[in-house]
Structure 1
Amino acid sequence: MSQTHFYEVNIKWKDGRTGELSSPVLNKTIECATPPEFPNGVPGVWSPEHLFVAAINSCYMATFLAIASNFKVEIENFSCKTIARLEMVEGKYLITQAEMFPVIKLINPGTDMDKAMRVAEKAKAGCLVTNSMKTEITLTPEIA
């Protein structure tokens, strides 16, 4: 299997500050727009900022589940809330920090608690999305 992959995403402007994201290999489109905090922003629509945070969350989950499987840690439930900080730095907007709050419920908490904590840290270290960003990522896992 090749170690190089390509992912194509297209956007088509609809009107105002709204566009539609698509990919030739996916069935669904996603409407996106400038967030409402900015001039002419659109409330209730995915923004680039939300998609940035969604990339962190989805990659972390996929990485966590893969590593948990390798470590034979059985997961009953997984969720993760991530809160990102957008701020002006030297005249440019940057997402400077993202704080992740995964909640992991184990099938065997008595035997897998320590392994699950190691898996949570390994997933943070191995997440390709966060490894590709200059955003500071913090992790506060809750394992039950």
Structure 2
Amino acid sequence: MNRHTYEISLTWTGNQGIGTQNAWSYSRNHVVEADGHQPVEGSSDPAFRGDPTRWNPEQLYVASIAQCHMLWYLALAAAAGITVTEYHDRPTAVMIEEPGGAGQFESVTLHPVVTVAPGADQELAERLHHQVGDYCFIARSVNTPIHHRATILTATSAS
């Protein structure tokens, strides 16, 4: 078994001079950094007093699920002899907020549109999406149901 470690730096940048004296006295802004990477400017969701121009944890959660699915799908397609020429996804997610403020994601739905080379087995290309959950590190680590509604297209041949 291989063990991989991941380290980031998370810095709150939202102290407006008086710290967290109350819920309105501070910004939710923060910066996520990792060596060798561009910083990610984050905040909370605007529904929770966040900056709408910054990434929020909920968006990053959905993004990590979609990224992991795509990367494993591409690997499985390559191993199965399916040539993918384009991949685009616009995932959606539903989060439930409970009366006391706690909550959780109810579902994440991926909507990958996959273009494969002419002659590729489209049925196999579709089935591979169902295998990704067996491998994707993120999907295997969360308890949110993750769905996908894939569209498989065939690339047009240049004349």
- Structures share a fold, TM > 0.5? yes
Q: Which has more strand, going by share of residues?
A: 1
1:19-98 alignment runs, 5 A limit? 19-24=30-35, 26-38=36-48, 40-89=49-98, 91=100, 92-98=102-108
Deviation at 1:89, TM superposition (A): 4.8
> What corresponds to 1:133 in structure 2?
142
Deviation at 1:63, TM superposition (A): 0.4
Cα-Cα RMSD:
1.5
- Give the whole-Å Cα distance in 2 for the aligned partners of 1:47 and 1:62: 22
CA contact (8 A) 2:82 2:120 kept: no
List alignment gaps of at least 5 residues for structure 1.
Answer: none
Structure number with bigger Rg: 2
Question: What is the TM-score with the length of structure 1 in the denominator?
Answer: 0.90
> What corresponds to 2:129 in structure 1?
120
Q: Would you identify which runs of 4 or more consecutive aligned residues in structure 1 move more than 4 Å?
A: none
> What corresponds to 1:101 in structure 2?
111
Deviation at 1:88, TM superposition (A): 2.5
Question: What is the TM-score with the length of structure 2 in the denominator?
Answer: 0.82
Question: % of aligned pairs identical?
Answer: 25
Q: Which has more helix, going by share of residues?
A: 1
List alignment gaps of at least 5 residues for structure 2.
Answer: 15-26, 154-159
Aligned AA (1:7): Y
